[in-house]
């Protein structure tokens, strides 16, 4: 062994062990390498007038006396250049850069961080050790990222999470005891999502926003739907007022849709730009309209009823008695009632007085959910005696007369056992014709009596 292992300093060999042998080369090498510092690492060829003892790191592509010495330590001693090959882990101070280097992987790399440093490390830990999965690991009560006011920067601050493909994950995981409770980002697609978990394995969607600008709550965005905001689940709103504002003069609406198999379809509550409010059936069109002047109109003429036999209004108040049209132009097959039919029905149908059955208590929750308070309603005009007719007697009289009139009908035309109803307004023409016949008979009696009266 002729030299030291680390600094490669030459040993005094046995043949040199004479009384007056010096060790100048070893001293020069030690002087050059211990507490290593160089003037620069930018020179690829020797400077024109180097100072005695000057040291340099030879730059790439060397020439002249530095030829073939790239990365080596060049020391000018005794008027000549001496070169030393660095080993792994050697450190060197570069004066013109104010930077400390380490020789690793066959190259000189900065190990001190300053404003001008460009450092690449395989892993970094702050307060903890990094690992293969978490190559940047930090343990701290707080982490601050601030805009650059030193260089001085632009005043902006942006943190970028970049993934290789849409199907990959890019986001932030929020954990408790290293068990994930929420995920925020683009996971498995380019849709931005927020999902939560009680155990770190099963996740519930809370918010999703697709690249097309559509937003969904409690589910994924259905791109086939036109609506930009989609909600999957029940909603409870506790507020004094909730406003749905139109985006244009056309109008604004609230769609109560049910597209499940076997469902009706739903309704649309809408307010037009002209000032009309309507309830529309998704299947059949408009059902009820409140016009700009306040008139309440059915969606179609002569197509629907107000109430039904089992769901009656207790009273209807009106200033006038007009409840239907009677224009000749709206009628066909017009024929006289005739005294025979009028008198037959008058004789067969007996007016009665009656008392309504006590109304059963029923809750008025409508479509409200379980737990909502039920309201018991009672018809305000159910008490006392009333005058009227029995629908069953009217039907029997019509059958006996062999005729049909709109005065009587079934609540369900397909169910003969359903409740029966009457239209008392259609009794008036019958009574009218019977009264006319009575007047004709009285007139005839008077005329006959006058002819038989004796002359005075």
pTM of the model: 0.48
Number of domains in the chain: 4
Give tens-digit pLDDT for 287-330: 899 988 888 888 888 888 888 777 888 778 887 776 667 888 88
Domain endpoint, select from 208, 230, 252: 230
Residue 366 maps to a domain = no
367, pLDDT greater than 90? no
Residue 86 maps to a domain = yes
Q: Which domain holds residue 299?
A: 267-304
Give the rounded percent of residues in the chain with a pLDDT score beyond 70: 84
Residue 363 maps to a domain = no
Residue 455 maps to a domain = no
φ, ψ of residue 205 in degrees (nearest 5): -75, 135
- Rounded Cα–Cα distance for residues 251 and 270 (Å): 7
Give tens-digit pLDDT for 66-119: 999 999 999 998 789 989 999 898 899 999 988 899 999 899 988 865 556 566
Residue 134 maps to a domain = no
DSSP category for residue 68: T
Give tens-digit pLDDT for 264-288: 778 888 888 888 899 888 777 888 9
Strands 215-217 and 229-231: parallel
Give tens-digit pLDDT for 131-144: 999 999 999 999 99
Supply the pLDDT for residue 453. 62
Cβ atoms of residues 64 and 45 within 8 Å: yes
Alpha helices (H) along 256-403: 339-348, 391-401
Greatest Cα pair distance in the chain: 198
CA angle, 226 then 227 then 228, to 5°? 110
371, pLDDT greater than 60? no
Residue 396 maps to a domain = yes
Cβ neighbours of residue 384 under 8 Å, at least 6 residues apart?
Answer: 355
φ, ψ of residue 86 in degrees (nearest 5): -70, 155
Cβ atoms of residues 48 and 67 within 8 Å: no
Per-residue pLDDT band for 366 (boundaries 50, 70, 90) equals very low
Supply the pLDDT for residue 119. 63
Residue 158 maps to a domain = no
């Amino acid at each position: 062994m002729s030299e030291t292992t680390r600094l490669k300093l030459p040993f005094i060999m046995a043949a040199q062990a004479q009384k007056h042998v010096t060790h100048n080369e070893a001293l020069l090498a030690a002087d050059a390498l211990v507490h290593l510092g160089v003037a620069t690492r930018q020179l690829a060829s020797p400077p024109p007038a180097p100072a005695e003892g000057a040291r340099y790191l030879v730059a790439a592509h060397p020439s002249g006396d530095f030829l073939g010495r790239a990365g080596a330590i060049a020391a000018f001693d005794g008027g000549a250049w001496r070169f030393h090959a660095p080993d792994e882990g050697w450190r060197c101070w570069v004066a013109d850069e104010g930077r400390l280097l380490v020789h690793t992987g066959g190259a000189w790399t900065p190990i001190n961080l300053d404003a001008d440093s460009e450092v690449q490390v395989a892993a970094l830990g702050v307060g903890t050790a990094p690992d293969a999965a978490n190559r940047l690991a930090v343990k701290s009560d707080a982490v601050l990222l601030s805009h650059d006011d030193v260089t001085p920067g632009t005043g902006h601050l942006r943190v970028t999470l970049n993934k290789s493909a849409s199907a990959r994950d890019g986001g932030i995981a929020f954990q408790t005891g290293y068990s994930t409770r929420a995920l925020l980002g683009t996971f498995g697609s380019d849709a931005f999502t927020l999902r939560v978990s009680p155990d770190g394995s099963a996740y519930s969607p809370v918010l999703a926003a697709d690249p097309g600008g559509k937003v969904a709550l409690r589910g994924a965005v259905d791109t086939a739907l036109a609506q930009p905001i989609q909600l999957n689940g029940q909603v409870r709103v506790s507020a004094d007022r909730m406003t749905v504002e139109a985006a244009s003069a056309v109008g604004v609406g609230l769609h109560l849709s049910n597209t499940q198999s076997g469902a009706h379809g739903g309704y649309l509550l809408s307010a037009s730009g002209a000032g009309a409010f309507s309830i529309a059936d998704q299947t059949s069109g408009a059902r009820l309209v409140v016009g700009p002047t306040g008139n309440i109109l059915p969606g179609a003429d002569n197509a629907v009823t107000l109430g039904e036999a089992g769901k009656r209004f207790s009273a209807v108040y009106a200033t006038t008695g007009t409840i239907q049209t009677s224009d000749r132009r709206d009628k066909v097959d017009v024929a006289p009632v005739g005294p025979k039919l009028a008198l037959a029905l008058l004789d067969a149908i007996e007016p009665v007085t009656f008392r309504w059955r006590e109304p059963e208590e029923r809750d008025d929750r409508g479509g409200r959910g379980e737990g909502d308070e039920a309201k018991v309603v009672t018809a305000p005009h159910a008490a006392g005696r009333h005058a009227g007719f029995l629908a069953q007697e009217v039907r029997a009289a019509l059958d006996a007369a062999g005729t049909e009139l709109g005065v009587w009908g079934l609540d369900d035309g397909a169910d003969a056992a359903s409740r029966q109803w009457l239209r008392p307004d259609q009794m008036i023409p019958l009574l009218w014709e019977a009264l006319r016949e009575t007047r004709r008979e009285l007139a005839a009696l008077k005329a006959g009596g006058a002819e038989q009266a004796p002359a005075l």
